Amino acid sequence: MKKYFDYSSRIRRREFFKGMLVLWFVTIGIRLMHIYLFEYNYNILVYMLYFIVGLSSLSFQVRRLHDIGMKGWIALFPCITITLLMPSDEWGGILTSLLSAYCACMIYLFVRDSSPLSNEYGDSPKPLEGNDIILAEINNRKMINIVMALLFVTKILVMIGYAIWFDITSPLGVSVMRLSDVPLYILASISFIFIMFDFTRNQKFTIIGAGLSLLDIPAYIIGIMRATNNEPLKYLKVGQILFMMIRDSAPIILGALIIIVVVSARKEKKIPAKVFFVLYFVPFIWGIIFSIIGGNNDPFFVGSAYETFIHTMRQECITIYCSKFVRAIALIVIYNRIKLSEALHENNQFAA
């Protein structure tokens, strides 16, 4: 029982996922008890059990972070952000961006291999020496690429599932998303597809995928032409059209920055992880700036924090081309490939 409430030691991936699986089954049991014994009525016992499971889950997350040499307090991020932002009507919707990035990063960290060296949290459960450290790093980086690609495929399958559900049930009285729309959503995600399934040595397809963001320009022009019945100047001034194009050009800006980062990495320049955090928030910051310039006094979201959070999370589930989670895992994949290239280069030097 002690291992379920230990916050100071280290734990390997296998033990971590085993423990989390046990807690998942326990949570299902509590949920069923809440439904069938208490009929969803408030019960202090149920919430105490949820709280205990949450503490145990936090223990596993903290120790997994310790094992890869990181601070355990990172696992508290969701609690901190929800506590600070949820009470605010304006900032509540930002939770989706923050939690999407957090979930993607934590998946990446949880599948990282154990640090082969001892640290302040204890001895390594997987000690290695010499070139074995580099080889383990290479294998782990390759596995992470596969895991992230599978996450992307899972996201597509979830979107298809929602499309089928909307088609069959029409929960809002109309079919919000049709199964026939799925190919268009996937086509709109072509940049992500090139990035996620790029297994070339120098990330050539990643550069192509980022470059495809330029297709947003003709797509935007076509959209304006259709909306105005091919007479845009009849309804809009040239300045208004240009402003809207610049306002919605965040994907192009992000694509250009990704190309710069990848090309710099190919020239063996060190790219710190924080660069990718900045890239993730570029579209968000870009949107806020132009909302303020455009005179929008509520550039974040409209409605209560809870409502905006639920709404944006639903959007996350049913889309991939504008999904913040997909953007996060795409950036993680690019970073991971850069680190993989560095490890391969180091291995070649060691062999020589």
pLDDT recorded at residue 301: 46
For 58, 99, 100, 328, 341, the CA distances from 316, given in Å and listed in that order, are 25, 11, 9, 12, 31
For 221, 227, 255, the CA distances from 216, given in Å and listed in that order, are 9, 16, 11
Report DSSP letters for 270-323, one per residue: ---HHHHHHHHHHHHHHHHHHHHHTT-S--S-SS-HHHHHHHHHHHHHH-STT-
Q: b/e string for 142-178 if b means 16 or more Cβ within 10 A? A: bebbebbbebbeebbeebbebbeebeeeeeeeebebe
C-beta atoms surrounding 252 within 10 Å: 19
Instruction: Give me the average pLDDT of each 10-residue run along the chain (352 residues).
Output: 84 94 93 78 82 93 94 87 61 73 94 92 88 92 95 90 78 64 81 92 92 78 76 79 80 92 92 93 82 58 56 72 88 96 88 70
Q: Are 159 and 182 in contact (CB under 8 A)?
A: yes
Spatial neighbors of 194 by CB under 8 A, at least 6 apart, are: 205, 206, 208, 209, 212
Max CA-CA distance within the chain? 72
pLDDT recorded at residue 300: 46
Half-sphere exposure for 34 (CA within 13 Å, toward CB): 17
Domain boundaries, the chain: 149-351
pLDDT recorded at residue 268: 86
Which of 45, 52, 40 is closest to 4 using CA atoms? 52
In angstroms, the CA 191 to CA 211 distance is: 8
C-beta atoms surrounding 309 within 10 Å: 21
In angstroms, the CA 133 to CA 9 distance is: 22
pLDDT recorded at residue 54: 92
Alpha-helical (H) ranges within 37-130 are: 44-67, 77-85, 94-110
User: In Å, how far from its chain's centre is CA 24?
Assistant: 21
Which of 155, 165, 114 is closest to 137 using CA atoms? 114
